[in-house]
Structure 1
């Protein structure tokens, strides 16, 4: 089940486990220069607004209506990063693509998980994704560019301007794997003596470059429930499209 709450995309899998909940936020940020140099992580601003496409079906282009999902506004050359969370700590594998090109591996989109090369991120271990992984430890920022002009990752890698937008698939961990793991953790902590004092405290088109690690899957492919995956297409509207479809002004000015 996919819902929206305060511009947050939420995936719920009650049929798998009560704690199987994962959220995703698209965060507006500063665009860093695309000059071949590496830059530190820029600041995050507000979440981009998200709206259910079904709520505006009468005004939608036919291809947007067919694929469904949600809608977000971006100005040309505006940048973003993606924030992930699993509120209850339940692990998820998430595939992220733009124009059906995987942002993690650079391969074309497939509806299953691959480990060699790994084409997904593991949440909550991976708290955010800043852009396209271009080599180990290095990404290129997500930047909005018009489809059909040759700028997008989709066009650069496939030669086509067909899909656009952002695609997400969430795969929860298998219930039996999660419960087995939880039992082992409980047993481990049950055997540990209590400390008398001390610390108990147990983040489109490729833009500029910055450092970010994509964490390896610590659980393995067999841990993920690929039968209960949930997919969402995020269509990206320019300011004119956003106003025509939703009747709302875009939340930001062009960069």
Structure 2
């Protein structure tokens, strides 16, 4: 069985040294294609098992972590791997793969690819639904049919997000470490000869409706479209372990639920979108010349935006100017319980 994840402040750390942060961001309009929206800070993350008296019994059985989201609030996932070691990460939305649109699987598949390769994939802002684009992760209630899960399966049983990490086989990892050590030694020799150089890592941007399961809160729907590639794995499938190193279930909690369960106040509602753009603050575009973009998922491409269920979005919007778009690219913690899901 996969090992449990851990919490390091607001970062979920999965076995395989994979670190995932849940970033608040601006919600995009559901028409047009946009640059990557900025990060507006982390969502607070808490272990469900720390609240045995106030968390729903079903959540306690599933284990994992929870974070508070507002209706129609958007998020993106920021990834890191300690020491830069290669890892594979599956991302599910209501146990539907956010990369392939396939049902959740305990194994890595290549036809179609149902995982991300790290550290090449620095973040994921939404479901892989177009060539070179994704549809933004947007939180919606279960029971309306607006979630990706509801539209593709006809049911809304799980909600939330699911994460599962895989590592390289030991012999492959040892070979990678040896190559990395040789590369670093060569860089050190060059730096000593020419006075040093280095590149800083890129900054982060950022019919009838299905019935909701008892105790479920929020799931992920599809929002606006943005430019982002989901990279194809360049390694042979045999490089990866056949079973997951670790996994975690991420429950999305409404602000009132968050107060009742944790006794804490949730973060304030996201900043006004037009005010952010008028202030001249940055948006982002990321390009990796050597990476190959995965083909879009036919199933995910058919997912309708949440506005089809929740109505037109009347929140003010102002398109960023071209000079606001910045180009990017070319630890122990508290254990998290895992349960049945």
TM-score (norm 1): 0.90
Residue 240 of structure 2: aligned partner = 224
Distance 1:42 1:165 in 2: 22
Residue 164 of structure 1: aligned partner = 159
Paired residues of 2:164 and 2:244 also in contact (CA < 8 A): no
Corresponding position: 1:236 with 2:233: no
Shift of 1:121: 0.4
TM-score (norm 2): 0.68
Paired residues of 1:74 and 1:238 also in contact (CA < 8 A): yes
Paired residues of 1:121 and 1:215 also in contact (CA < 8 A): yes
* Per-residue CA distance 1:6-46 (angstroms, 9 max, x = gap): 1100123xxxxxxx4110000000000012x1011111011
* Per-residue CA distance 1:115-163 (angstroms, 9 max, x = gap): 1111100111111001000023110000000111111000011110110
Paired residues of 1:76 and 1:254 also in contact (CA < 8 A): no
Gaps of 5+ in 2: 200-205, 207-219, 272-341
Gaps of 5+ in 1: 13-19
Distance 2:131 2:222 in 1: 16
Task: Figure out how many residues of one structure are paired with residues of the other and give that number.
Answer: 247
Counterparts in 2 of 1:203-222, with a 5 A limit? 204-222=220-238
Distance 2:223 2:188 in 1: 50
Question: Which structure has more RCO (C-alpha within 8 Å, separation ≥ 6)?
Answer: 2
Distance 1:72 1:238 in 2: 8
Distance 1:166 1:112 in 2: 17
Paired residues of 1:27 and 1:45 also in contact (CA < 8 A): yes
Counterparts in 2 of 1:124-135, with a 5 A limit? 124-135=119-130
Distance 2:10 2:40 in 1: 13
Residue 15 of structure 1: aligned partner = none
CA RMSD of aligned residues (A): 2.0
Residue 16 of structure 1: aligned partner = none
